[in-house]
Structure 1
């Protein structure tokens, strides 16, 4: 059963304790040594969270075999110990890859260590600080891809839980019925991540045929977007249920590392992101207009970081990287780069603009709320 929307103020839901291994496997049909689905979990220093992820995998109720492959990148906390305890309880379900040295710091992408272990026709992703809520998740996404043979990727919404603020809310929702096929242009041109990583469900064969740079490039800062773009290039099937929780601002996460990064690191990273985004132009089914929109969004995002950091140096460098990929500034943005004074004035202008927008939204919400109030006159 899918988890229904929770109301603000409720506690963030957690998956229940899983059943014994024998009960999970009791309803499986076919060869238990030939899993239909491979669950891939990448983790590092996720001791406070990894049990939720593993429980979310183990609550799945299916009539087909599945396997769980967990890669730990030499965690310095108790993550490996917790995984080992689960593996002892579920030896026929959980396969582990424990690194003794952190591979990510050496430029190695974790996916290259698990991709060749996948035995399933389908694969599902979930990082160790996220988790699944519904026991129906795998069954429903299998059904969607089984009934849409030409589509390779399925996604769904999630609860976004900001651990730094203790707030959560539904995110990544579309006003569509389950089973709707979204065009890849929606994902390619998105201003940020189109769908939560823990929602990704795809055909393993297509995943393994992704370009070599996706698995091995040392300067590729993330893979989510390229999974959406490349595996979704024939359409993306949407399941409307909220099947997972996406934690944001977890210590050590991509979002957290970005906030702590130096200006020079961010300059190097935007160059890499724009360069790999340009590689999507090799695929005829991905429109160049969508790709260019994405490049514009990337530049605007990094310019926003520069404004937040009050760094004219970063703003100029980001704008220069954008120029290399035909992303050009508006006149007012070029004026902002002239001097520290003009940059401060531009920051103040953006502040006023954002404040005005928030005020308009607040007034609109008030009008909407009062328009629904009952009329007590008469």
Structure 2
């Protein structure tokens, strides 16, 4: 690890209208430790790279911009190469179209993790910014302040722009390459971080802004079932990965729950063939066939109303 307490992980591509605000919001952090911005710029066709380079020249000790690419490699490949360049004790995420609000965000989060070594991840509430300029505070508030792998495997409730987590990258614990097969890497990274222990803490404060309806994630979220499909596939990868063998039983339970949820989504979207295939092909795995059958029939009924 380097002398930097935190590596702030920034991915950006064609975000000339947003990247300066993201960088400024990180540079404004007030801390009693050193931190570094690690910027993975993915061969933008606008002035994003030039803006990042100007900041890197002004703050050479604080900003590391990864070498320019000859071609665009895509979000997840850029995610992996940037993550591997983060050598701080902790890693924070701020995508190039998001930004932080609280100038003490990093200090609060590091203080907590330093004082509570049984925790490996800390996150907060987020403010959502819509294209029309409207702000909305996230209404999703966890039921528990403290959670574990056994909670997070069922769904990703951590807004990436608010997260800070322990950096456990080393020669013996490399992040799995199968993540490259999926359009986002934050959720599997959190699960990988706490696969052998470590809790997740929710700090009930708003520290960051997440821009809605732009970027790669907005395209994925146009159909709710798409996220459930991807999460189910990721969960199957985790089930096959020997690094997660101690979590096998809870991963199996999560996969069943995800399949049930996806079945309901399909019916609501009137994708009846896929819903029936999930229902029929997975009956033997369902613990409560009667309850699942009721959910299937009810979601089918609701889709016609």
Residue in structure 1 matched with residue 198 of structure 2 by the alignment:
234
Deviation, structure 1 residue 150: 3.1
TM-score w.r.t. the length of structure 2 is 0.80
Instruction: Quickly say closer, same or farther: Cα 1:116–1:217, change in 2 above 3 A.
Output: closer
Residue in structure 1 matched with residue 57 of structure 2 by the alignment:
88
From 117, 120, 123, the counterpart of 1:155: 123
- Say which is worse superposed, 275-284 or 142-151, in terms of deviation: 275-284
The superposition leaves residues 25-53 of structure 1 with CA deviations (integer Å, 9 ceiling, x where unpaired) of: xxxxxxxx822211111122323322221
Instruction: Quickly say closer, same or farther: Cα 1:111–1:267, change in 2 above 3 A.
Output: closer
Deviation, structure 1 residue 248: 2.5
Structure 2: tracts of 5 or more residues without a match: none
Structure 1: tracts of 5 or more residues without a match: 1-32, 338-342, 352-378
Is it true that 1:255 corresponds to 2:226 in the alignment? no
Residue in structure 1 matched with residue 11 of structure 2 by the alignment:
42
From 291, 298, 303, the counterpart of 2:258: 298
Residue in structure 1 matched with residue 270 of structure 2 by the alignment:
310
Residue in structure 1 matched with residue 180 of structure 2 by the alignment:
218
Residue in structure 1 matched with residue 303 of structure 2 by the alignment:
347
CA contact (8 A) 1:53 1:126 kept: yes
Residue in structure 1 matched with residue 285 of structure 2 by the alignment:
326
Whose strand fraction is larger, Structure 1's or Structure 2's?
2
TM-score w.r.t. the length of structure 1 is 0.66
From 34, 37, 47, the counterpart of 1:78: 47
The superposition leaves residues 69-102 of structure 1 with CA deviations (integer Å, 9 ceiling, x where unpaired) of: 0101222333223222322322221111233312
- Say which is worse superposed, 64-73 or 223-232, in terms of deviation: 223-232
Residue in structure 2 matched with residue 57 of structure 1 by the alignment:
26
Q: Over aligned residues, Cα RMSD in angstroms?
A: 3.6
CA contact (8 A) 2:146 2:202 kept: yes
Deviation, structure 1 residue 131: 1.5
By relative contact order (CA 8 Å, sep 6+), the higher-ranking structure is 2
CA contact (8 A) 2:30 2:103 kept: yes
Instruction: Quickly say closer, same or farther: Cα 1:210–1:69, change in 2 above 3 A.
Output: same
CA contact (8 A) 1:295 1:327 kept: no
Secondary structure of the residue aligned to 1:81 is: helix
CA contact (8 A) 1:152 1:206 kept: no
Q: Residues of 1 paired with 2:201 and 2:229: CA distance? A: 34
CA contact (8 A) 1:126 1:197 kept: yes
Residue in structure 1 matched with residue 159 of structure 2 by the alignment:
196
The count of residues paired between Structure 1 and Structure 2 equals 298
Q: Residues of 2 paired with 1:346 and 1:174: CA distance? A: 28
Secondary structure of the residue aligned to 2:10 is: strand
CA contact (8 A) 1:274 1:325 kept: no
CA contact (8 A) 1:281 1:288 kept: no
Deviation, structure 1 residue 316: 4.2
Pick the structure with greater CA Rg.
1
